[in-house]
Structure 1
Amino acid sequence: MSRRRLERLLNLTMCLMATSRFLTVSEIGDMVEGYEPGRDGDEHEAFRRMFERDKQYLRDLGIPLETGADSYGDEVGYRIRRDDYALPEIRLTPDEAAALALATRLWSTASLAAPAASALRKLAAGGAATSPGLGPGPRGADPGAPAGAPGPAELFGLDGLEPRVDAAEAAFEPCLAAVRERRAVRFPYRKPGDAEPAERLVEPWGVLSWRGRWYLAGHDRRRGAPRVFRLSRVTGPVRP
């Protein structure tokens, strides 16, 4: 799925959740960024077909898209009832909360450490159970706590436990970003025994650690097959 369509689907979902009444197709075309209803018949028909595809896609995902009409009009409209779509409250057992806190300590890179700690503080502030015997976290905790505030280990009673997988390879961050953005990348890669690196063009699936080393798994476009690349053997920049 293209990023443009994903953004349009998110905009459509948020728009339909933000109203209690049924929105007509014309109103949706005017309100949702990403739609262009057009001025002539052909452009409007193209917009209607796009909306029908998006509507069916949301329903296939299990999003409860409701069809109906308001009392003052007879044109069919659409909405998403918050009560039907809202996620239930997250409740963690003490063991689950402890495992989650321990997992966040795995990340030693600055780009991932801060979001992980912030997420745990939000869980603790919402009353999530911490490690056995400590009870729920402080409800007044600030998710944006300044330096020196309790970290995830202290919040969950896990101080002293330190699982670590260091990511020293320069290719780690750009490869991880490419996975998140679903973006193909190219990079020079030297296999064992080769005197010179060869360029690889890869659609990345994931970045994983095995026996203390980091790897990129993905589809090698030039070979037309799945491949795994050890990040320490990437000899130059990772480029889109």
Structure 2
Amino acid sequence: MATARAERLVNLVLCLLSTRQYLTAERIRGIVPGYTDAPNDEAFFRTFERDKSELRDLGVPLETGRNSAFDSVDGYRIARRDYELGDIGLEPDEAAAVALALRLWDSPELTGAARGALLKLRAAGVDVDDRAAGAIEPKVRTSEPAFPALLGAVQAGRVVTFDYRRPSAAQSQRRTVEPWGVVAWRGRWYLVGHDRDRGAPRCFRLSRVVGEPKAQGSAGVVRRPPEVDLLTLVAGEQRDSPPRTPARLWVARGRAQGLRRRAEVVDRMRLDGVDGEVLELDLMYPDSAASWIAGYGPDVVVLEPDVLRKSVYEAHLGAAAAALGPRAEPGEVLG
């Protein structure tokens, strides 16, 4: 659901909850933000009818009626007695589970929703002690930029296209997928669905999605087969160790001892006037190794493969931009 549409629905619910009288469509159009921008009457009524259907589908008890016999058109309102949630009673362990769920998510979108739910529980008198969850520190990070778009495509049941980069490939490939779900497995997020290009179910690691995924087609077209277990698909694909990727690195003399312990010196090389050695090592997960290698700064330079060199370079740019602050210009980072 688009942000503007969601805000309009919230405004409509608040408006209809705040009145005891039935409000006509024209009255709602004049006081609810989001309707005043309609270019004409036809566009407004089309949007309003769609919003009413959306609220009813969500279970909102929308009443229709007239305030008196002199009214010529119907109005709308929401009765609080039918809309408000009853008293919530949670046992201490249940309340701790709610607090634990709040700490599970590490993305701005999901954190805001979870924190809002926690505040509502506390406002209702439920004692939610998030300190009880302190002994468990789950972290399912959703910092991948592709996460919101892919999750939205799953929820809408729409086909999605995106560029995907394999670990050993220097260039990405366009994939068209019927998404079934987004699954967390061993600290990583995967999109599971039917790959139209391969004609079979596939799993895609979100950290390898390049750019912004694009949903296409009508909503509700894609449905997950009832017999498919998403977690089993992801775990099955990850059961075997992935092929190792050979890498060649230049390391300044006497530096990066942690990296040297995992690599083999194969040559000596002078780079930009600094003496060093060429090291070779095999990487099982080049994506995660990029941040580890980037931590050595200018003491380590990736020679091969190109995709790893690019990832380390981007990590350096991100660190430089963060150090210079939000007002830094691209030239300041690159220079």
Contact 1:217 1:229 in 2 (8 A): yes
Taking a change above 3 Å as real, the CA distance of residues 198 and 93 of structure 1, as seen in their structure-2 partners, is same
Could you tell me which of 147, 151, 163 is aligned with 1:187? 163
The TM-score normalised by the length of structure 1 is: 0.62
**Structure 1 position 74 matched with structure 2 position 45:** no
Q: For the aligned residues, what is the CA RMSD? A: 4.1
Displacement of 1:158 in angstroms is 3.8
The TM-score normalised by the length of structure 2 is: 0.48
Contact 1:21 1:70 in 2 (8 A): yes
Taking a change above 3 Å as real, the CA distance of residues 217 and 62 of structure 1, as seen in their structure-2 partners, is same
* Aligned residue number for residue 175 of structure 2: 200
Secondary structure of residue in 1 paired with 2:135? coil
Could you tell me which of 82, 85, 94 is aligned with 1:84? 82
- Matches of 1:215 and 1:17, distance apart in 2: 40
**Structure 1 position 9 matched with structure 2 position 9:** yes
* Aligned residue number for residue 192 of structure 2: 217
* Aligned residue number for residue 174 of structure 1: 145
Q: Give the residue type in structure 2 aligned to 1:68.
A: G
Displacement of 1:218 in angstroms is 5.3
The percentage of aligned residue pairs carrying the same residue is 50
Displacement of 1:178 in angstroms is 2.0
Considering fraction of residues, name the structure with more strand: 2
- Matches of 2:99 and 2:69, distance apart in 1: 52
Secondary structure of residue in 2 paired with 1:97? helix
Tell me which structure has the larger Cα radius of gyration. 2
| Cα distance per residue 1:143-162 (max 9 Å; x no partner) | xxxxxxxxx2x2xx343333
Displacement of 1:229 in angstroms is 0.5
- Matches of 1:33 and 1:216, distance apart in 2: 36
Taking a change above 3 Å as real, the CA distance of residues 206 and 125 of structure 1, as seen in their structure-2 partners, is same
Q: 5+ unaligned residues in a row in structure 2: which ranges?
A: 215-335
* Aligned residue number for residue 163 of structure 1: 138
Could you tell me which of 44, 53, 58 is aligned with 2:55? 58
- Matches of 2:119 and 2:55, distance apart in 1: 32
Secondary structure of residue in 1 paired with 2:64? strand
Taking a change above 3 Å as real, the CA distance of residues 220 and 34 of structure 1, as seen in their structure-2 partners, is farther
Q: 5+ unaligned residues in a row in structure 1: which ranges?
A: 131-136, 138-151
* Aligned residue number for residue 228 of structure 1: 203
Aligned length: 207
Taking a change above 3 Å as real, the CA distance of residues 112 and 64 of structure 1, as seen in their structure-2 partners, is closer
* Aligned residue number for residue 32 of structure 1: 32
Taking a change above 3 Å as real, the CA distance of residues 78 and 211 of structure 1, as seen in their structure-2 partners, is same
- Matches of 2:136 and 2:200, distance apart in 1: 40
Contact 1:185 1:238 in 2 (8 A): no
- Matches of 1:82 and 1:218, distance apart in 2: 41
Contact 1:217 1:227 in 2 (8 A): yes
Counterpart mapping for 1:80-159 below 5 A = 80-107=78-105, 109=106, 111=108, 115=112, 116=114, 120=118, 123-124=121-122, 126-129=124-127, 152=130, 154=131, 157-159=132-134
Q: Give the residue type in structure 2 aligned to 1:44.
A: D
